């Protein structure tokens, strides 16, 4: 199935909007996690972890799923295909990484940080969780920015068909 130009544009707009929401989520996570790490007020720390956990259950999951689905549809319903170009394969690899981090990592890390904080966990245990959370956030931000760059420049060209 091929899309009309108008349909393709609408699907692309939806895809870009959800990708922007994904990036916005990670910027919010970065701000909340830095605030939690630097705040001296226990209520602020708890509010930051609670906000991140709520986002991980809602907006993060919804935007990840919607971006993935619209990206697959764009690949299938346009000339690009799922495996025809190296740049699409690179985006698919980065997408798999982001899916794992978004659907599992952000939820698990924020739940663990919130649980540790509420139960009076040691600063060392909370710090260990924060390191994992920060690593996940930074990996996602870098991956999302790389996907934006790859989408604009479309490097590496078309894959060569191997004939036997």
* CA dihedral over 115, 119, 125, 131, signed as positive or negative: positive
Q: Where are the alpha helices (DSSP H) in 104-163?
A: 106-118, 123-153
Note the pLDDT tens digit of each residue in 52-76: 999 999 999 999 999 999 999 999 9
163 has a pLDDT exceeding 80: no
Instruction: Give the pLDDT of residue 60.
Output: 96
Task: Give the residue among 70, 71, 132, 61 at the shortest CA–CA distance from 99.
Answer: 61
117: pLDDT confidence band, cut at 50, 70 and 90? confident
């Amino acid at each position: 199935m091929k899309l009309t130009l108008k349909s393709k544009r609408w699907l692309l707009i939806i895809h870009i909007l959800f990708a922007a929401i994904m990036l916005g989520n990670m910027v919010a996570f970065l701000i909340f996690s830095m605030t939690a790490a630097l705040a001296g007020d226990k209520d602020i720390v708890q509010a930051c972890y609670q906000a991140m956990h709520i986002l991980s259950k809602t907006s993060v999951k919804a935007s990840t799923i919607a971006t993935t689905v619209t990206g697959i549809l764009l690949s299938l319903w346009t000339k690009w295909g799922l495996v025809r170009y190296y740049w699409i394969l690179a985006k698919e690899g980065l997408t798999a990484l982001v899916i794992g981090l978004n659907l599992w990592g952000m939820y698990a890390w924020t739940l663990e940080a919130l649980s540790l904080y509420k139960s009076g966990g040691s600063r060392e245990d909370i710090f260990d969780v924060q390191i994992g959370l920060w690593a996940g956030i930074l990996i996602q931000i870098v991956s999302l920015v790389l996907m934006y760059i790859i989408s604009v420049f479309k490097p590496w060209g078309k894959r060569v068909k191997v004939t036997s």
